[in-house]
Amino acid sequence: MVYSMEKRHLRRQIQHTLKQLLATQLQQKSRDACANLCLTEEFRQARVVMLFLSLAREIDTTFALQSAFSEEKTVLVPKVIWGDSKIVPVRFTALDDECEPDRYGLRNPVQSEIVPAGEIDLVVVPGLAFDTQGNRLGRGGGFYDRFGAEPSLQARRCGFAFHEQLLPEVPAEPTDLPVDMLVTDRQILRFEKKL
């Protein structure tokens, strides 16, 4: 219960911080973060990469998607299956692929060719906050934690956020999966696996 209260407070705090950023700042910081992501060995080596379709006031993945397409990678995005409280990776072939916005503003691809999780080399993970140990604070649904726990998924998990979303520490429960690395508009961090 203490964790959930801490997390709720932290989510509000981060959302407030993001609201202070101007649209021009969000765009430039997103471009810088995408450039950093695309320079990583993990992204360059990945043949199959799973990115996310950004929400408003969330780091914009458009430039990373364009780069992945230009490098002829297989690009996947999460499709939310609300009834099962899970996400599945579906093929995404172009920025103008048809999507249906849902009740939370998430863009769900209409096209639904599911790709097995075991084929993914890199999963780029959104979050409201990350810390310097690789812990992640999501929006509270647990979708990425459940997806990351799938036994067939061997991909590297890369957090992707603005520098303002990197904190010294975020509360983490045993079911919260840390990321292997974090890319922001200012830096690239890699984390040791916890035993």
Domain of 54 in residue numbering reads as 2-190
Identify any residues that bridge with 125 across adjacent strands, giving them in sequence order: 159
The pLDDT, as a whole number, for residue 194 is 57
pLDDT tens-digit profile of 2-55? 556 688 889 999 999 999 999 999 999 999 999 999 999 999 999 999 999 998
The pLDDT, as a whole number, for residue 125 is 97
Residue 195, in any domain of the structure: no
Structure tokens at 72: 């002829």
Residue 49, in any domain of the structure: yes
Does residue 4 or residue 184 have the better pLDDT? Answer: 184
pLDDT tens-digit profile of 99-157? 888 777 788 888 779 999 999 999 999 999 999 999 999 988 889 999 999 999 999 99
The CATH number given to whatever domain includes residue 163 is: 3.40.50.10420
CB–CB of 7/137 below 8 Å?
Answer: yes
Number of domains in the chain: 1
